[in-house]
Amino acid sequence: MQRFEGKVALITGAASGMGRATAIRLASEGAGVYGTDVNAEGLAKTRDEVESAGGEMRSGLFDVGDRDACFASVGEALDAFGRLDVLCNIAGILRVAHAHEMSVEDWNSVIATNLSGPFFMCQAAIPHLLETHGNIVGVASNAGLMGQAYTAAYCASKGGLVNLTRALAWEYMKRPIRINAVAPSGTETNLAADANFGEDMDPSLMDRFYGMRGMSQPEEIAGAIAYLASDEAKSVHGAIWTLDNGITAG
């Protein structure tokens, strides 16, 4: 199924995890993909995987926490493909700490990457997405819908992204653009694997975030993103889709 034939998607965080899986998925369905990340090696691997499967991908090293870099990445995507139809805001970082011990640097870096970055990308992309009647899909988290111990900055950033999605969806309600987000729980990515919970942290406080069905796979999240980004989801606007194996159901 070639739902994205003739369309172009810009994907942040494309060097690994959900970003890589989404790049591969959209390219496999015909999209031209422009991927960004700060990880050059991972970005090159994603591009190799996309191209070895017959897809087309260009890439650039950009830090989404830098507003100028966000605008530059959109400009490069337009230079490479001539249009923009889909923006996937997937880049994200996590810092683990007792809230009263979290450094200002860690707080600022999480907010910059996970919340300011998606906003800057939206600012840069929306004028072009309005031209193509395109759409935006952000990656929030169930941590943005419920409290999670030792990750205050992450929860705040993802909760902010949830309401940023809703705010933009309402503001552009009468314009030709759709804006949605997914909210996964624990997913087998480098971000989850690299989370370092100290010996003085109570692991029982984290149990509910892993649920009774285990971790999700990046490809599962990419499948949901692909649907939301496709024309099949024309009636979906302002939605926050929980992909958390039922964790927020109880």
Tell me the catalytic residues: 154
Question: d(Cα 160, Cα 156) in Å, to the nearest integer?
Answer: 6
Per-residue CA distances from 204 to 92, 148, 175 (Å):
25, 11, 46
Closest C-alpha to 13, from 133, 190, 232, 242: 190
For residues 145 and 209, is the Cβ–Cβ distance under 8 A? no
Contacts of 185 (CB under 8 A, 6+ apart): 141, 142, 209, 210, 211, 216, 243, 244, 245, 247
Per-residue CA distances from 22 to 123, 130, 218, 223 (Å):
22, 22, 8, 8
For residues 74 and 124, is the Cβ–Cβ distance under 8 A? yes
Strand, coil or helix: 179: strand
Count of C-beta atoms within a 10 Å radius of residue 218: 22
For residues 33 and 50, is the Cβ–Cβ distance under 8 A? yes
